[in-house]
Amino acid sequence: MLALTRKVGQSIVIGEGIEITVVEVKGDQVKIAINAPKEIPVHRKEIYELIQAENREAACLPEGIKVEELLGLWQDKEKV
Amino acid sequence: MLLKTMRFGEIDIAEEQIIEFPWGLPGFPEQKRFVPLHYGASTSLFFLQALDSPELAFIIADPFQIIGNYVVDIPQDDLEALKILTPEETAVYVILTIRQGGKEVTANLVAPLVINTAKNTGRQVILFNSPYNSRFSLNTQPQAVAK
């Protein structure tokens, strides 16, 4: 992994369209500004990992479960 | 064209039914094309079948059926990436997870799927400062009956 030392106000450029700037350092917190093309999703890692994990779990549709049962549950909700 | 699915076998679908997710989904970056399939009589529940992986499908739902006053504040960058201009060409779904062998169903309200229905492109958006979480239970919440 590449490690670079930067001061507040200095940047790192990744490829053509991505620029990461150190905006502020306060104690153990660093504020960074990210300039990237709109189509590139940028997320805090822990939130992204949470959504990854949720998606993987959601993709595991249980074998034994009949989808009809789930739908029954759902339609009951719609009716109530 | 023929869509291969593990759950329903082969289904004949039209090109226009395919929704492109250019960035995949978190956890599934390679899966870039999906087809929503109606299942049963419900109009607000779909299988989102991966076009290139017969075994991969998600159950997705209309979040407004789950919470009548669901607020989805889509970040500007996502709207621009999807080239969404008007609410009329926007569809929002949430992914459901079946837990405990089917005893519990939860909805991921914090990371909805946002789709540009005019261009048939979508992405899973992560809402900032959202009042919702990723495991909204459809079993215990009275709001789940909002309709």
pLDDT for A15 = 92
Closest CA to A60 of B97, B52, B88, B89: B97
The whole-number pLDDT of residue A62 equals 72
- How many domains, chain A? 1
Contact A41 B23 (CB under 8 A): yes
- Taking CA–CA distances from B122, the nearest residue in chain A reads A39
Categorize the per-residue pLDDT at A73 as very low, low, confident or very high, splitting at 50, 70 and 90.
Answer: low
Say whether residue A4 is in contact with chain B using an 8 A CB cutoff: no
Instruction: Specify burial of residue B71 (Cβ count, 10 A radius: 0-12, 13-18, 19+).
Output: exposed
pLDDT (0 to 100) of residue A61:
77
Enclosing domain of residue A43: 11-79
Chain A residues with CB under 8 Å of B144 CB are 77
pLDDT in the model for residue B146: 43
The 3-state DSSP class for residue B59 equals strand
Separation of CA B81 from chain center: 18
**Which residues in chain B have Cβ-Cβ distances shorter than 8 Å to A52?**
26-27
In a 10 Å sphere around its CB, with 0-12 CB exposed, 13-18 middle and 19+ buried, how is residue B1 labelled? exposed
| Domain containing residue B131 | 2-140
CATH number, position B61: 2.30.290.10
Looking at the 3D structure of chain B, how many domains does it have? 1
Assigned domain for B147 exists: no
Cα–Cα–Cα angle for A18, A41, B44, rounded to 5 degrees: 165
Of these ranges, A10-19, A64-73, B62-71, the one predicted with the greatest mean pLDDT is: A10-19
What's the pTM?
Answer: 0.86
Residue A5: inside a domain, yes or no?
Answer: no
What pLDDT is stored for residue A79 in this prediction?
53
The token pair at B113 is 């799927």
Which pLDDT belongs to residue B143? 44
Residue A2 lies in a domain: no
Question: For residue B50, how many C-alpha atoms fall within 13 Å in the half-sphere facing its CB?
Answer: 16
Task: Determine the 3-state secondary structure of A64 from DSSP.
Answer: coil
Shortest distance between the Cα of A55 and any Cα of chain B, in A, equals 6
Is A77 touching B (CB cutoff 8 A)?
Answer: yes
The two tokens of residue B87 are 């609410």
Does residue A49 lie in a domain region? yes
pLDDT along chain B (147 residues), means of 10: 87 94 95 88 85 93 90 91 92 92 88 96 92 86 44
ipTM exceeding 0.95?
no
Q: Which residues of A25-43 are buried (b: 16+ CB within 10 A; e: fewer)?
A: eeeeeeeeeeeeebeebee
Contact status, residue B98 vs residue B92, Cβ threshold 8 Å: no
What residue type is A52 in one-letter code?
Answer: Q
Residue A46 within any structural domain of the chain? yes
Chain-chain contact of B59 with A70 (C-beta, under 8 angstroms):
yes
